[in-house]
């Protein structure tokens, strides 16, 4: 199945926030951060795609104000 923007926007409230989140996470992955999914679960080889897959899987979220962690 392909990622649709509607699948992504169910997890993040705006396209702008989604782009910022995916970009930041892709940079973290480029720098050697541990993946949030098993290697076999990723369909994309590029880190931006992997970041978006983490969003769809519910592993990557934007912290709300006052939320710790």
pLDDT (tens place) for every residue of the chain, 69 residues total = 445 677 787 878 788 888 999 999 999 999 999 999 999 999 999 999 999 999 999 999 887 655 555
Q: In residues, how long is the chain?
A: 69
Q: Are 53 and 36 in contact (CB under 8 A)?
A: no
Alpha helices in the chain (DSSP H): 5-9, 15-30, 47-56
pLDDT of residue 17: 87
pLDDT of residue 67: 56
pLDDT of residue 66: 57
Question: Is the pTM of the predicted complex or chain greater than 0.85?
Answer: no
């Amino acid at each position: 199945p392909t990622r649709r923007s509607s699948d992504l926007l169910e997890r993040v409230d705006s396209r702008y926030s989604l782009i910022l989140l995916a970009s930041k996470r892709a940079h973290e992955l480029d720098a050697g951060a541990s993946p949030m999914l098993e290697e076999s679960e990723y369909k994309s080889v590029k880190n931006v795609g992997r970041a978006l897959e983490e969003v769809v899987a519910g592993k990557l979220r934007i912290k709300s104000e006052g939320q710790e962690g």
